[in-house]
Structure 1
Amino acid sequence: MKKFYFLGSLLIAGVVIAWKQSSERPADIPGKEKGRSQIYFCSPSFDPAKVKDDDGPLFKGLGNLHFTVSTKNKKAQQYFNQGLTLVYAFNHGEAGRSFSTALKLDPTLAMGYWGLAMVLGPNYNAPLNPSKLEDINAAMDKAIQYAPNASAKEQALIHALAKRFPRQEVKDVSPYTAAYAAAMKEVYEKFPDDADVLALYADALMNEHPWNFWLKDGTAQPWTAQVIGVLEKALAKFPNHPGINHSYIHAIEGAPHPEKGLVSAKRLEKLIPAAGHLVHMPSHIYIRTGDYHQGVLVNEWSTDADSTYVAQCKVEGVYPLMYYPHNIHFLAACAFFEGNSKKAIDAAWMVSRKADKRYILENATVQHYYMIPFYVMVQMAKWDDILRQPAPGESLKYPLAVWHYARGMAFGAKGKLHEAEQELASLKKIAGEESLKSLLIWETNSAAELVNIAVNVLTAEIAMHKSKYEEAIEHFKKAIAIEDALMYQEPPDWFFSVRQSLGHVLLLAKKFEEAENVYKEDLKMYRENGWSLMGLYQSLVGQGKENEAKEVKKRFDKAWAHADISINSSRKY
């Protein structure tokens, strides 16, 4: 589960957001394609300096979701609708601002307090932060106080949410999470035809097992069928609900049949155009179905939207720190898979620039964002560019390890094997650091695991350059074993599939049949990616399977339609 405890100081007095003056301006999108107009969220007259912390603007482009709450104030109703939409869009900070503004307009609005407790509590990407319990319970107490004036549905939602939070910090919150899910089931049974009740019930179920619905071999977890069942029933009734489509993509993205999420993906492209994270979400499906170019496009659109939002609205907090760079990170991944080196590299550097250095010492995800250019430069064989980069600080063990890994790869490719071995020695030394085990990227996979992959990959590369193919194969397989054991994450925490390198050395060793199997395995996870299609083509040619090879070459040509580089194996180097 992904944790943002280090951002607890940004959650002040029950309002989740800090609007501050910022020097940031809309960032240039790498090679942005035409056909999508930029959306401006804040009205031109909006002046953050003249607005209190609980005064939020009403944004354009957030759709028309309406959840009737018990208030006579039309503006309060509008702000509640906006807050709930933003909850579904995972912009919890801005949602908190909307709920707070609704309460300023109507202090007796029970569901406004429900909304504050919701955004201060756990979500699919963040567990309960114990330091927020006082604010959460204060909000829930107010919600319960004013609940008698609310509708039966509102009362049911308020009393269900009250079960989600302990009064004081506890070691294990799972009983509270389960109690909330059970309570939401009862709410759903009372209001089975309400779109938001269905969305919130599904969300409650998903938060019992976030990011844990499918095993690596595609087997569903015991609880997955219930979640999928609720969501598919909800989609049948309410196909254009943003929260339901968002949750369905997360529930299905790790499945062996991710194409089931394509309809939701296509809907979310344009459903809520001002919510950058929702615009980005289709790429969680596209990267699994091989629709890499569409993944590039939606992440360009989402980055466009979020860069405008962050700059014009002067916003800080979790959203610009984590979610905004995530879109650009995904753009780099999709561009890589379609062979667009310029977009991949430009996006990688953009991610690095967005890594907030104020948090880099304490947060592995920020460190990971910071080093994405090195992973991409290795894949694109930018050896001179790698060797020109200065070393990260000694205290940044994970970035320093990636730096040594990339330099080792560069020296190896240049035939400077002595220098490559020196970088490997430095990399191995860092790999032994215990501190790497506690550095978790999105609180999912440890830096230690990634560094161990790097050690084995660089060891294999050096062996390969010495024509010691069996040794290289052995270490690539060790790296794959670690890679396969990583928890599901998109984009993958290891940039990118080690199977593409294993297949390459198998081709060099003329083990064409084994290479064919490796590439087919890679194409199960990353469908129709041109890198493995080219490798598969070469493996078939090596076996004299000319007819099969011709068909694969056609698939490669289609996959490489937007590429700006040529390859003759599954790697650029």
Structure 2
Amino acid sequence: MRRLCRVWLCLLFVASLSSAHEMHDHGTPERLGDVSFPISCAPSVQEEFNRGVALLHSFAYASAEQTFRGVARVDPQCGMAHWGVAMTYFHQVWSPSLPLSVFPAGQKEMLEATRLSAKSERERKFIHALGALYQESDGLTSSMRTAAYEQAMAEVARENGRDVESRVFYALALLSNASPTDKTHAKQKQAIDLLEPLSREYPNHPAIAHYLIHACDSQELAERGLPAARAYAQIAPSAPHALHMPSHIFTRLGLWNDSIESNLASRKAAHERGDTLDELHAMDYLVYAYLQTGSDKEVSQVIQDLKAMPNLDMSNFGIAYAATAIPIRYAVERGRWDDASSIALPSGAPPSVVAIAVWARGMGLARTGRVKDAREDADRLRQIEAQLRASGDNYWSTQTGVLASEVMAWSAQASGDTHQASVLLRAAADQEDAIEKQAVTPGPIVPAREQLGDLLLQQKQPEFALKEFQTALAGAPGRRGSLQGIAQASRPNDRAELY
């Protein structure tokens, strides 16, 4: 009877995890890197739990959730399996990091993890730390929750100083609280100091390379992240996100061919796995790189492929952002102002994504002389800015304010008020430069500083335009618009419009 029971449990385990394995079984061994996260659950689930953590470290959240749920079915007393499921809802470097739509489900998993507890103090600390994120309190903001989680993970890391998982999860917790307005990158540097020594000790651990890339995703630190960028895709080639992530560093350094290669591989892998979010994310970075290399034919093909993708979930921020930004990048970077002015607003998308479409339309209207209509779009952007601010989304509120100022600046230029145009656009550039981009985007559609250079060229001030283009290029190396602007500003007799 006991033997029959063991056979039944084994069959149940295989069945429960078959869907997760199907996503990664393409006739070759799955390669997600080396992860060892010892737990006190049934020995039979240890390997699958390690796999779930490896998937988690490469942000393969759906597959990780399936794996952890399979572990819970095989060992119903495994509290760490429920911790794993709850972790898949917490997207620490994305925005929002913990969507309201999944919060109740995560909270339910944490209650179960706490109820089941764990045999080891280390596991109980992991559960307690994540419980700080999901604690019951209507008065806690998202930033307060992530700060509480970071503090709890700091304790886990201190008490388990030789445990690699304690340290890498703490490093990620630091990144989840890195302020985009902190140009000293204090949290990122703290994470780097944790991760760089680990990279030498655990060269095939996916989290170390991955989180180093995120920590170094700024102009100041990008060079420091290049070794991790070169390594990560080799560590976990079965994860589409691992194939894409190096392009964050390549984009910062203007290594366009490397970025294109990275995102072609990621897009293909994501498409094969039916991972729409990762596929679109790779497509957005791919289009950005193609535009910098003048590969317009390739951009047009990506846009056609995007149009053929059915039933996109535009309520999902990552999907909506990429699907909206891709055609806008092409229209605006190539100065196709009539196309920009007819951009349709995305239905069902978050306000921060709708703002990008409103901006593109307003820019197109302003650049084609339809000032009144452009100013109406600028007013709408101000309304979205206020809406985002009221909801507590200060990052995207600030970004939307920059977009509104840009539309107003070009409207002023079109109406002949050149002084107001330069004042508005310079303020927008200063504001944009003071805040880091988020991981969802390779960068602004067109940096405000680059636009300021173009504006000054149009106002016949090439010497001042040159300085702005040089500053823009220092912040975003290799951008085609800035390089072209420098060339034009260096030829006083050439007053051709940049865009």
What's the TM-score, normalizing by structure 1? 0.70
* Number of positions where the alignment pairs a residue of Structure 1 with one of Structure 2: 470
Q: Which amino acid in structure 2 is aligned with residue 501 of structure 1?
A: Q
Kept in 1, the 8 Å contact 2:406–2:448? The answer is no
The equivalent position to 1:458 in structure 2, one of 410, 414, 417, is 410
What is the root-mean-square deviation of aligned Cα atoms in Å?
3.8
Query: What residue is the counterpart of 1:444 in the other structure?
Result: 395
Deviation at 1:493, TM superposition (A): 5.9
Classify the secondary structure of the residue corresponding to 1:500. helix
Query: What residue is the counterpart of 2:32 in the other structure?
Result: 62
Output one character per residue of 1:9-42: Cα deviation in whole Å (capped at 9) or x when no partner: xxxxxxxxxxxxxxxxxxxxxxxxxxxxxxxxxx
Percent pairwise identity: 23
Query: What residue is the counterpart of 1:108 in the other structure?
Result: 77
Is structure 2 residue 426 aligned with structure 1 residue 477? yes
Unaligned runs of 5+ in 1: 1-49, 311-318, 544-567
Distance in 2 (alpha carbons) for counterparts of 1:141 and 1:353? 45
Taking a change above 3 Å as real, the CA distance of residues 389 and 268 of structure 1, as seen in their structure-2 partners, is same
Deviation at 1:266, TM superposition (A): 0.7
Kept in 2, the 8 Å contact 1:469–1:509? The answer is yes
Classify the secondary structure of the residue corresponding to 2:21. coil
Deviation at 1:113, TM superposition (A): 2.7
Deviation at 1:372, TM superposition (A): 3.6
Is structure 2 residue 226 aligned with structure 1 residue 276? no
Taking a change above 3 Å as real, the CA distance of residues 369 and 389 of structure 1, as seen in their structure-2 partners, is closer
Distance in 1 (alpha carbons) for counterparts of 2:125 and 2:419? 64
Taking a change above 3 Å as real, the CA distance of residues 325 and 354 of structure 1, as seen in their structure-2 partners, is farther
Greater relative contact order (Cα < 8 A, sep 6+): 1
Classify the secondary structure of the residue corresponding to 2:387. helix
Output one character per residue of 1:99-142: Cα deviation in whole Å (capped at 9) or x when no partner: 11122222233432331232244633213744235413333224
Query: What residue is the counterpart of 1:518 in the other structure?
Result: 468
Deviation at 1:278, TM superposition (A): 1.9
Distance in 2 (alpha carbons) for counterparts of 1:176 and 1:531? 41
As a proportion of its length, which structure holds more helix?
A: 2
Query: What residue is the counterpart of 1:200 in the other structure?
Result: 169
Query: What residue is the counterpart of 2:185 in the other structure?
Result: 220
Matches within 5 A, 1:7-406: 56-57=20-21, 59=24, 60-71=30-41, 73-74=43-44, 76-121=45-90, 123-125=92-94, 126-127=97-98, 129=100, 130-132=103-105, 134-144=107-117, 147-148=118-119, 153-167=122-136, 169-172=138-141, 177-207=146-176, 209-210=177-178, 212=179, 215=182, 218-221=183-186, 223-310=187-274, 320=276, 322-348=277-303, 350=305, 358-360=313-315, 366=320, 369-383=323-337, 385-386=339-340, 398=355, 401-402=358-359, 404-406=361-363
Taking a change above 3 Å as real, the CA distance of residues 54 and 435 of structure 1, as seen in their structure-2 partners, is farther
Deviation at 1:387, TM superposition (A): 6.5
Q: Which amino acid in structure 1 is aligned with residue 324 of structure 2?
A: Y
The equivalent position to 2:453 in structure 1, one of 503, 511, 520, is 503
Taking a change above 3 Å as real, the CA distance of residues 97 and 448 of structure 1, as seen in their structure-2 partners, is same
Deviation at 1:276, TM superposition (A): 1.2
Is structure 2 residue 484 aligned with structure 1 residue 534? yes
Taking a change above 3 Å as real, the CA distance of residues 478 and 343 of structure 1, as seen in their structure-2 partners, is farther
Output one character per residue of 1:218-267: Cα deviation in whole Å (capped at 9) or x when no partner: 4234x444323212232232233211221121122125131100001111
Kept in 2, the 8 Å contact 1:273–1:279? The answer is yes
Distance in 2 (alpha carbons) for counterparts of 1:113 and 1:185? 21
Classify the secondary structure of the residue corresponding to 1:444. helix
Output one character per residue of 1:36-83: Cα deviation in whole Å (capped at 9) or x when no partner: xxxxxxxxxxxxxx9779953263232343333345554x23321221
Distance in 1 (alpha carbons) for counterparts of 2:344 and 2:71? 49
Deviation at 1:304, TM superposition (A): 0.9
Unaligned runs of 5+ in 2: 1-13, 25-29
Is structure 2 residue 378 aligned with structure 1 residue 408? no
Q: Which amino acid in structure 2 is aligned with residue 381 of structure 1?
A: G
Classify the secondary structure of the residue corresponding to 2:20. coil
Deviation at 1:436, TM superposition (A): 6.1
Classify the secondary structure of the residue corresponding to 1:57. helix
